[in-house]
Structures are given as structure tokens and as C-alpha cells.
Amino acid sequence: MQSSSVAETTSAYSPSTRRRVFTGLILTMIMGALDQSIVSTALPTIVSDLGGLAHMSWVVTAFMLTSTIATPMYGRLSDMFGRRPLLAFSIGSFLAASLLCGIAQGMWQLIVFRGLQGVGAGGLMTLSQTVIGDMVSPRQRGRYQGLFTGAFAVSSVTGPFLGGMLTSALSWRWVFLVNLPIGLVAFGLIMLSLPVGRAEARPRIDYPGAALLSIATAGYLLLFNALGTTLAWTSPLTFLLLGGTTLVFVLFIRQERRALEPLVSLDLLRIPTFSVCVAATGIMSFAMMGSMIFLPLYYQLVLDETPAASGLMMLPQVGTMMISSVLGGYVSSRTQRYALLLSIGVGIEFTALSLIAVCAHHGAPALFFLLGLGCLGVGMGIGMPNATVMIQNAVPAGALGIATAMMSFIRSLGGALGVALSGGVMALTLQNRLQVLPEKIDVPAFLEKGMAAIRTLSPATHAEVTQAYKGAISASLSVSSSFMFLAFVLIVGLMAHQTARRNR
């Protein structure tokens, strides 16, 4: 098979064309990264306006569910039909759904539109990173991925700040409408500059694999999102759903083994560097999204900060990540020590998340959170670009699209599971703590109204509820810290494996 990643070599791009494409891709990645995190600081206000605190995590989960399902399909289809038409569809559908989210009139309406938005978002970062791999040589990928990862990472953590500012100054609806001008500029630059590329003469699409993957992914995400809230952890229905979803996943693996053009290349998983880095990337995303979504909620509910102030408290992470991603990309291109740099970055992330979890548990002053977030930004800036470069350099050029898509799929799945599981842990802990308060409250009604309900409580009960939220959110942060440690162990194990092979 002749893929577009082979046909579209670096010589196909003039310097001016490359600059325009890179600018469009950076804007595309910024847009996709913003929408993973910009909603977090606006969620309490959205709940107060539309109601439905018990379904709050669905605003995030619906987006991540559909984007996760769509991600591997974009990678495989871009190998078949070229990057340009898939980017056009991805950006166009994302912008249309963003407009619908901005005019939503109810919580479930917003959740549905966020799901549609995720369909477009699934291709934004996957295709952007794949085009980078097409346009630059393997040796230079560290530098360029560092720049793009810096843009992605800064956008991710600037999201809560920007979301808070837009919510306070204008309305939560502008959290979604802000995508329109950014996306239109990105669309114009990419469509005018990126070559069409060559498509396969007779492409074969793995429709059964796509259907099975969609069912399995949706099953796992819905199961984890319901645990601790509408679904008991030890109920028979829980085990039934887990068993049924696992069976569908096994059928998907069987389908991929016999498909002529599989949606996911299982052969790539035989490459140790690829498989370990993809798994570690998913676990890292699990930990990061599980913590970043609920940290602004902690600031507003426990520290009594405004949406704008809670977003402003994420700035230390932005600054350190911006510096470390650029410097880390430069150092990795010079030294080619990707595994070492990745292990250092993940180790710093684990340490920082542990510090943040301890601070949340003990109700530490804001200064300690700022210190932890600064360290977290350093680790993310060092770790993320090196993971992408290791994955892309480990696979053949013809598999670049599907390899990048597999990485993005696992990362999206990990992030969605992180939000769902952390939200389940938080909801379960919160319900248990609210039920034993001296002053009895209607827990379901309280969870439905969120911050609006807290404002109606007596001072004594308000303090008790604040303590309940502190314990619940710190429990979810502890889950994130534990998973980041697992990612660190995987990377260290990969380094040991590589060292043993070189010494043979």
C-alpha cells in the first residue's frame, strides 16, 4: 500500500508553504486542546444556569467519548484518502457543533452537541501530528513536536483560565463560540496550502471493526462514568456490562487479525517501544485529565475562588510548560535521548500530582497548589513531545498515520476514562460524606443544583459541605497520582529493556 505519508515527502513543501501549513496546524491543535479543558471552569456556571450537577461530567465525557471513537478512523482513512480532505471534514464538523453548543438551551441538549463536537475533534490533533510527521525528517521531529506540544499543552492549561475569563466577562456560551474565528483561519490556511496527496486506488474500509470498536469504547466509557453514581460498584449489572463490553472488545481484536485493511494495526504492538509508549501515553492522559477537570472545581467550591481566579491559578503550569516543551524539544533533537527525557518528565509529573493531592487533602493555601502546578508543567513539557517522537520513529513511514492515530486513540480513551473514573470516585465519596452530615439534606436535589444549592445553606452546614467536597475531590486527585506512577514504571521498564538490548 502506498500511503500519503510516503507520497507526501518533505521535499513537496516549500518554506513558505510549510510556514502556512504549520500555522494552520498549530491553530488546529490549539482549538482541539482548548476544548478539552476550557469547559472545566465554566461547568459550575453552566450547571447553575442549566441545572444537572449529577450529569456534569457528561459534558466532558460525551466529547471525549465520540472523539475517542473517531480518532483511529481518522488515522486509517487519512492513510487511504490523504490528510487534506479528512482535515477539512474534521475542522468543519467541529465548528458546526461548536456553534450548536453555544446556543444550547438545556443540559442534555448541550451534552448531545458536545458529542457531535467530539466527532470533529477526533481528527484535529491526530491529523495535525501526522502531517508534522509527513513534513519533517525523523531526526527533526523532536524539535517540531516540542513546538507543537508546547502549543497543545499551553492551550490545555490556558483553557481553564480562558474559560473563567469568558464566563465572568461575557457568558459561558463564549467558551464554545470562541472556536469559530480560530477554526475559520486554520481551515483557510490548511486548505490553501496543504497538497491534496494521493489516495489509494481501491481503499478497503474495515466497517465491522469500526462498529465493534465504537461499541466497546462506548461501553467502557459509559460503564466507568456510571460507577459510583447511577451504578453500584458491586452490582450484578456492573459485572454484566463489564463482561459484555470485554466480549465485544475481544471480537474487535479478532476482527482486526483477519481484516485485509485493519482499522488498528496489531502488528505495531509487537514493537516494544511503540506499545509501551502508547500505553504510557494513555495512562498519562488518564491521570492528567482526571486531575485537571476537577481542580478548578476544588478552587471554586473549597477555596471560594471566582471562575476567573480559578483559571488564573493554572498559569504557573502554562509558563513552565511553555518553557520546558521548547527546551525539551531542542534537547531531544540534539541528544536523541528520548526515553531518558520521557522518564524524567513523567517522574516530575508524578511528584507534582502527588503534591497537589496532598495539598487538596489537607486544605493547603493556594501557594502550594501553584508550586505543584509549576512542577507539573515542567514534567508535561518534557514528557509529551518525547513520547510522540518515540512512537513515530519506531514505526515504518507507511504506518505513520495509523500509528499516530493509535496513540491519539489510547490517549483520548485514557483521558475519557480518567474523567469518568475520577468523577465516579468523587461522586461516591461526596455522597457518602453528605449522607452523614448532622443537618440532613436532599442529596440528589443538592447534586442537581450544585453551587446554587451551596449558597442557600446555613453557615455551619456550608462549612460541612465544603469539607465533604474537599475530601471527595482530593480522593479523585489521589487516583490520578497513582496512575501517573504506573506510567513512570512503564517508561523506566522500557529504558531498562533498551539498555539490555544495547549491552548484548
The model's pLDDT over 342-375, given as tens digits with 9 standing for 90+, comes to 888 889 989 998 888 888 888 888 888 888 888 8
How many whole angstroms from its chain centre is CA 297? 18
The residues of the chain that CATH labels 1.20.1250.20 are: 4-195+261-498
Mean pLDDT of 295-309: 75
Tens digits of residue pLDDT in 390-405: 887 777 766 666 777 7
The dihedral sign for the CA sequence 243, 249, 255, 257: negative
pLDDT at position 11, please?
47
Q: Which residues contact 225 (CB under 8 A, 6 or more apart)?
A: 57, 58, 61, 420, 423, 424
For domain 4-195+261-498, which CATH number applies: 2.60.120.380, 1.20.140.10, 3.40.50.880, 1.20.1250.20?
1.20.1250.20
What is the distance between the alpha carbons of residues 217 and 224, in angstroms, rounded to a whole number? 11
| Mean pLDDT of the region 231-245 | 80
Average pLDDT over residues 447-464: 66
Banded model confidence at residue 95, pLDDT cuts 50, 70, 90: very high
Amino acid at 498: Q
pTM: 0.67
Cβ–Cβ under 8 Å, residues 311 and 162 = yes
With contact defined as beta carbons under 8 Å apart, do 30 and 85 qualify?
no
Distances (CA, A) of 67 to 32, 36, 125, 218: 10, 10, 10, 11
pLDDT for 445: 57
Got the DSSP string for 314-326?
A: THHHHHHHHHHHH
pLDDT-based confidence at residue 247 (cuts at 50, 70, 90): very high
**pLDDT higher than 70, residue 311:** no
Helix (H) / strand (E) containing 435: helix 400-435
Q: How many CA atoms does the CB half-sphere of 70 hold within 13 Å?
A: 25
Q: Who has greater pLDDT, 488 or 335? A: 488
Q: Which of 119-123, 259-263, 484-488 has the lowest mean pLDDT?
A: 259-263
pLDDT at 81 over 70: yes
Q: Which is more confident, 36 or 242? A: 242
pLDDT at 272 over 60: yes
